[in-house]
Structure 1
């Protein structure tokens, strides 16, 4: 059966889940197919860049905190 929900573009949370899963290499085939058939590449590129920036800044913050607490 053709579910009308399958023809809608992915929501923000579905895109975020897909970007995070792809970043860690655990993206499912079903989600990848949905993303390529109904999503816009520009949205995924922007979300991927933002995810990478937030991830890098988080790592930087953790390292800075650890170094500060270690008294180095």
Structure 2
């Protein structure tokens, strides 16, 4: 799997729309370390966006 495929899989799983077929493909072809690293980065980005939106709404 390349970086873009791993990123798409993490994004789909993050939003809960990952299909069983893609999940099985990820378990066979993907590297766990890549999924962990991209997932951690995605969580930090999500938290940063939430903090930014809240700080803009609440002065």
TM-score normalised over the length of structure 1: 0.75
Question: Are residue 51 (structure 1) and residue 42 (structure 2) matched?
Answer: yes
- Greater radius of gyration (CA): 1
Q: In structure 1, list runs of 5 or more residues that go unmatched.
A: 1-9
Deviation per CA, 1:6-49, whole angstroms, max 9, x where unpaired? xxxx2212111111111121101121111110110010001000
Q: Where do 4+ consecutive residues of structure 1 move more than 2 Å?
A: none
Q: In structure 2, list runs of 5 or more residues that go unmatched.
A: none
Q: Report what 2:53 is aligned to.
A: 62
Structure number having the greater helix percentage: 2
TM-score normalised over the length of structure 2: 0.89
What is the number of equivalent residue pairs in this alignment?
59
